[in-house]
Amino acid sequence: GEDVEQSLFLSVREGDSSVINCTYTDSSSTYLYWYKQEPGAGLQLLTYIFSNMDMKQDQRLTVLLNKKDKHLSLRIADTQTGDSAIYFCAEREQTGGFKTIFGAGTRLFVKA
Amino acid sequence: DAGVTQSPTHLIKTRGQHVTLRCSPISGHKSVSWYQQVLGQGPQFIFQYYEKEERGRGNFPDRFSARQFPNYSSELNVNALLLGDSALYLCASSLDNQPQHFGDGTRLSIL
């Protein structure tokens, strides 16, 4: 079945780059997303990439997609303490409905 | 513009009771989805509705049901509540095939 996997924790120093990795299984996925969740809040859509793209850049965020290896990454440049949160990778099914499958989330700690 | 709004924000119920959670999508969005997020995990898909029709259903028991109204708002109903139903329930809306935008959720606690 479909599955999305992420590492659980990442710790970086303020000003460094953060790279959060994700692997997924559904090769028919059309969209792949990155969401951010702060304590007590819902999910904020950060960025997304179509499955026919390799890279997308949006200000400090860079998404890389390796479709052959089913690997997605999110790079945050110049990481700030305000970036501390849980980051979820998600894939959207193309078949059998339109559900979005989420990973368990990567908790990013940014040290001042 | 208002984002996705959910009510109530918090709710406490006891085992065996039922609950109704409400969601108003972003104006113009016709698709609404519901997710359950247990502490420490990612959201799990429960339902998707589009134009008042159920379009997808996740692996949840029949105690979970939902509906979408003509104004595209939605309700999630859960009957015969169990302790394991304690979670953050998230609603998301989207234009048909576009990324979903989430509300802040309803935190449901079962005693």
pLDDT of chain A, 112 residues: tens digit per residue: 568 999 999 999 999 999 999 999 877 777 899 999 998 888 999 999 988 889 999 999 999 999 999 999 999 999 999 999 999 999 987 655 567 899 999 999 999 9
For residue A95, give the DSSP letter: S
Which residues of chain A have a Cβ shorter than 8 Å from any chain B Cβ?
4, 30-31, 33, 35, 41-45, 48, 88, 90, 96-105
- The reported pLDDT for the residue numbered A98 is 67
- The CA-atom distances, in angstroms, between B17 and each of A41, B47, B106 are 26, 21, 17
Backbone angles phi, psi at A108, to 5 degrees: -95, 125
Q: Edge-to-edge, what's the strand order for the sheet holding B19-24?
A: B5-7, B19-24, B74-78, B64-68
Rounded Cα distance, B84 and A3, in Å: 22
Rounded Cα distance, B55 and B50, in Å: 6
Between A110 and B95, where is the model more confident? A110
Structure tokens at A54: 């390799």
Shortest alpha-carbon distance between residue A50 and chain B (Å): 11
Which among B102, B106, B107, B109 is the top mutation candidate for probing chain A, defined by the most A β-carbons within 10 Å of its own β-carbon?
B102
Which among A43, A56, A88, A89 is the top mutation candidate for probing chain B, defined by the most B β-carbons within 10 Å of its own β-carbon?
A43
